[in-house]
């Protein structure tokens, strides 16, 4: 990955253009038709890198996933709406995210990254650009350092009052045991909290896992939202070992669960699923049209402010 001069004003000091890129797996039309207004709440865009270089060297193969390809992916799935999540290699520079959301118009919303140094003007600009939340990551490398470009859970409290004022929720991603240390305090902030990827739970631990029990209780009490991105927890190709977690969460609070594909499936390489298969799996697991409409349409419309 090569340095490419200076990024736009206000961004980090260097920009990086990948030496090579990975073409993400594209779906075919699912067997089942999504309900009108359906939303994929968890995807990422990357590039084009000449226009939107990374702000940090990526720890995974950089996807060739610009807005145009992402929108084709949504169209193929039959998803009317989508939510884009800022990936760590872009740090706190929202340019690629905001450009993609603008290209999608009212069809798209964004989850950006910011730290407590962000000005009120920046937070307002993010909201005006279609951003409805900030992502915080507590995943660390073997040396114990946060992934480059991430903002950790310890920064949420400092930002929370202004996030509430600007209509932004907190989206959280971490290894499952990390939630035990952080969520009890975060849940007291009176800020909507969205948990990524089924809480990164380990299916083999079962229902007695204290992390599962905590997440299940907070969800049942309406204090968190949960993303049903099964490909990050279950075992391909059928993800059946994640079925119990998925179903327990949808039963606990069907009004605060969301579906996301996680396209373009970074870090997964040849093991990446096809998003159409994930749609069909969710259709079968959700089981009835009323729940499908909640998960795919009503819940994301309420959380992300789709008209």
The answer to whether residue 5 is domain-embedded is no
Q: Kind of pairing, strands 16-17 and 2-3?
A: antiparallel
Contact in structure between 220 and 248 (CB atoms under 8 Å): no
Predicted pLDDT of residue 3: 55
Dist CA 146 CA 21 (whole Å): 24
The answer to whether residue 28 is domain-embedded is no
Residue 58, number of CB atoms within 10 A of its CB: 20
Tell which residue, 61, 65, 62, 30, has the closest CA to residue 44. Answer: 65
Contact in structure between 176 and 211 (CB atoms under 8 Å): yes
Contact in structure between 271 and 53 (CB atoms under 8 Å): no
User: pTM, whole model, 2 decimals?
Assistant: 0.94
Q: What is the pLDDT along the chain (307 residues), one digit of tens a residue?
A: 655 443 333 334 478 999 889 999 999 999 999 999 999 999 999 999 999 999 998 888 999 999 999 999 999 999 999 999 999 999 999 999 999 999 999 999 999 999 999 999 999 999 999 999 999 999 887 888 888 899 999 999 999 999 999 999 999 999 999 999 999 999 999 999 999 999 999 999 999 999 999 999 999 999 999 999 999 999 999 999 999 999 999 999 999 999 999 999 999 988 899 999 999 999 999 999 999 999 999 999 999 999 8
The answer to whether residue 117 is domain-embedded is yes
In the structure encoding, which two tokens stand for residue 141, read together? 């490398």
The answer to whether residue 33 is domain-embedded is no
- How many domains is the chain partitioned into structurally? 1
Dist CA 180 CA 159 (whole Å): 21
Q: Which residues are catalytic?
A: 262
Dist CA 148 CA 74 (whole Å): 29
Query: What's the CATH code of the domain at 186?
Result: 3.20.20.140
The answer to whether residue 181 is domain-embedded is yes
The answer to whether residue 77 is domain-embedded is yes
The answer to whether residue 24 is domain-embedded is no
Predicted pLDDT of residue 2: 55
In the structure encoding, which two tokens stand for residue 111, read together? 């989850």
- Could you tell me how many residues make up the chain? 307
Predicted pLDDT of residue 270: 86
Contact in structure between 282 and 33 (CB atoms under 8 Å): no
Contact in structure between 193 and 163 (CB atoms under 8 Å): no
The answer to whether residue 13 is domain-embedded is no
Coil/strand/helix, residue 40: strand
The angle subtended at Cα 261 by Cα 255 and Cα 264, nearest 5°, is 150
- Domain residues for the domain of 66 are 39-304
Within 158-214, strands assigned E span 169-173, 193-195
């Amino acid at each position: 990955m090569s340095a490419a001069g200076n990024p736009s004003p206000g961004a980090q000091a260097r920009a990086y253009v990948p030496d090579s890129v990975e073409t993400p797996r594209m779906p075919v039309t699912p067997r089942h038709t999504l309900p009108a207004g359906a939303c994929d709440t968890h995807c990422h865009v990357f590039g084009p890198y000449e226009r939107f270089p990374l702000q940090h060297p990526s720890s995974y193969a950089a996807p060739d996933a610009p807005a145009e390809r992402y929108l084709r992916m949504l169209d193929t799935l039959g998803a009317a709406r989508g939510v884009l999540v800022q990936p760590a290699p872009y740090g706190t520079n929202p340019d690629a995210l905001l450009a993609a959301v603008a290209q999608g118009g009212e069809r798209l919303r964004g989850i950006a990254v910011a730290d407590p140094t962000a000005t009120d003007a920046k937070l307002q600009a993010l909201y005006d650009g279609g951003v409805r939340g900030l992502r915080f990551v507590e995943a660390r490398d073997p040396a114990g350092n946060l992934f480059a470009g991430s903002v950790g859970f310890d920064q949420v409290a400092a930002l929370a009052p202004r996030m509430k004022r600007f209509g932004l929720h907190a989206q959280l991603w971490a290894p499952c045991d990390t939630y035990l240390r952080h969520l009890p305090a975060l849940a007291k902030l009176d800020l909507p909290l969205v948990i990524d990827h089924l809480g990164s739970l380990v299916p083999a631990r079962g229902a007695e896992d204290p992390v599962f029990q905590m997440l299940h209780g907070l969800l049942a009490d309406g204090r968190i939202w949960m993303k049903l991105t099964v490909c990050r927890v279950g075992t391909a190709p059928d993800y059946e070992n994640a079925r119990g977690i998925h179903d327990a969460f949808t039963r606990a609070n069907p009004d605060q669960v969301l579906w996301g594909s996680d396209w373009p499936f970074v870090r997964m390489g040849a093991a990446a699923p096809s998003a159409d298969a994930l749609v069909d799996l969710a259709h079968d697991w959700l089981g009835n049209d009323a729940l499908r409409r909640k998960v795919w349409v009503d819940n994301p419309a309420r959380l992300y402010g789709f008209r």
